[in-house]
Structure 1
């Protein structure tokens, strides 16, 4: 008796295909995260401004600047190794401060230095992914100093 011959589809097809190498796209991820946070914070800031209380209707740019500084006071630079939730909260607070300061600067040029300092902090983070970077710290110090006068 002869043994049955295996069909062609039962035969092994050779070595498994090699897996594609994992590419590190950290910088693209950081930029995408920062852009998403800016857009999200812009929506939050717009909703905050539109739903605002009587103070927002009276104060306009000054109230936006005050709220930007409130958001900045709630912002703490998370460590690079911080938990995802902690980083997300910090980044959203920074993005809210950036958006509100931009609204304040649009309403009154007096607040333009605050908006520029906060935008630079956000840009430095998007570029390096670290708030401890010296330029980011410099701009944070400037923004906090400007907020102390608001």
Structure 2
């Protein structure tokens, strides 16, 4: 028996019939996806946190959530949501806060479902590029009746 030769390569010897060491697969670039996810989470969390801090976090429950949504909606200017800069960021965060808090209120008490539905309808229309002034006015009218 002859002593086995030690290979200096970090890979095991290739199987018979192959042409050399394995070729590493190209890496997938997940950086942009992870960055977009982080921005989305921070924006959503920031909107809810801002609404809670600005409009009082003393109460809890569906009534408090509905009031927070209405307060965020009261300060929302839909004409600024598509712009850029701080005014657009403020509008986007107030809008996100109104959407999130109205959904939380409706989940806790069906009395607030019309508010959540009106805001969700406006959000869908806004996302599709429609003017939402009338939809936001309807949601504000529901807030006035709460």
TM-score range, shorter chain: 0.5 to 0.7
1:92-146: per-residue Cα shift (whole Å, max 9, x none)?
Answer: 1011000000000000001111111111222122111x6xx2xx22321110100
TM-score, reference length from structure 1: 0.59
Q: Residue 41 of structure 1 corresponds to which residue in structure 2?
A: 44
Partner SS, residue 79 of structure 2: coil
Per the normalisation by structure 2, the TM-score is 0.60
Ranges in structure 2 where 5+ consecutive residues have no aligned partner: 1-35
- 1:88 paired residue number: 89
Q: 1:84 to 1:99 in 2, by over 3 A?
A: same
More helix by share: 1
1:126 aligns with 2:130: no
Question: Shift in Å at residue 68 of structure 1?
Answer: 0.5
Q: Classify 1:36/1:68 alpha carbon distance in 2 versus 1 (closer, same or farther; 3 Å).
A: same
Which segments of 5 or more consecutive residues in structure 1 lack a partner in the other structure? Answer: 1-31
Question: Which one has more relative contact order, counting CA pairs under 8 Å at least 6 apart?
Answer: 1
Paired positions, count: 106
Contact 1:78 1:86 in 2 (8 A): no
Distance 1:110 1:147, change over 3 A: same
Contact residue 95 and residue 122 of structure 1 kept, 8 A: no
> Helix, strand or coil: the match of 1:52?
coil
Question: Highest Rg: 1 or 2?
Answer: 2
Specify which of 134, 138, 141 is matched with residue 138 of structure 1: 134
Question: Over aligned residue pairs, what C-alpha RMSD do you find?
Answer: 3.0
Q: 1:52 matched to which residue of 2?
A: 57
